[in-house]
Amino acid sequence: MANIIEKTDAFVLELLKDKLSNNIVYHNYTHAKRVFKSTKEIIENSEINVNESEILLLTALLHDVGYTEKREGHEEVSVKIATDFLTAENVDPKTIEAVNACIMATKFDSEPQNKLEEIIRDADSSHFAKKYFPEASEFLRKELELCDVKNYTAKEWLEENISVLSKKHRYHTPYAIKNWKSGKDKNLAKLIKTKKKKRAKNNKEKLKAKYKAQYKNESP
């Protein structure tokens, strides 16, 4: 297993280096390796056999390579690239089929259908629970701006992150629920605290402006 994982890692690194747009500052090799590391973390703390482990680690490395061609529908492109590469490496067709299913399961609005899909989904969103979440979030915001998807203001991005963490995302695996949910909750609490501070500051500035205008109008 180690050999195909190493080959895939090298393939992904070279592919992204050669073909990934400079505008893709979040969905890059750093992201792939972070997901790979988080996938290994779940695997090492779950009942996963060797073949399942291989499927998951291959998926972690290959799941976003479609960004080399397009943003919308990148999962389908990732499946094609993964199929071509793994077939050329004589990987078992059933393993390739499982990798492709896991890649498609990384669509944010999809619901994982089995244990492997739950693991890769949790690994792909593990950054929600990490200390580097603010940094990763800013890279994603910048990527969306550079790719002309949307140019979020700081306030809008804060609201979007609060919405995603509180309403649109949940962890699925027992390991992630036990070990990552608390980190995610801390990051969410920090976002909410920041929102409250900004609101209080804005209210204070509005009040100062009101009194300043009132004083000016009342001055002889």
Distance CA 122, CA 52 (A): 16
What's the pLDDT score for residue 198?
Answer: 81
Domain ranges of the chain: 2-218
What's the pLDDT score for residue 28?
Answer: 98
pTM of the entire structure? 0.89
- Rounded mean pLDDT of 156-180? 98
- Rounded mean pLDDT of 111-115? 96
Q: How many CB atoms lie within 10 A of CB 212?
A: 10
pLDDT in tens, 14-41: 999 999 999 999 999 999 999 999 999 9
What's the pLDDT score for residue 19?
Answer: 98
What's the pLDDT score for residue 140?
Answer: 98
Is pLDDT at 147 greater than 60 in this prediction?
yes
Look-up of token digits 């990552």: 180
pLDDT band at 109 (very low <50, low <70, confident <90, very high): confident
Q: How far is CA 207 from the centre of its chain?
A: 40
2-218: CATH, from 1.10.1300.10, 3.80.10.10, 3.40.640.10, 1.20.1250.20: 1.10.1300.10
Is pLDDT at 163 greater than 80 in this prediction?
yes
pLDDT in tens, 39-65: 999 999 999 999 999 999 999 999 999
CB-count burial class (<10 Å; 0-12, 13-18, 19+) for 88: exposed
Is pLDDT at 94 greater than 70 in this prediction?
yes
Write a three-state SS string for 113-155.
Answer: CCHHHHHHHHHHCHHHHCCCHHHHHHHHHHHHHHCCCCCCCHH
What's the pLDDT score for residue 2?
Answer: 74
Distances (CA, A) of 5 to 23, 27, 46, 85: 27, 20, 20, 12
Alpha helices in 147-180 (DSSP H): 154-163, 174-179
pLDDT band at 210 (very low <50, low <70, confident <90, very high): low
End-to-end CA distance of the chain: 85
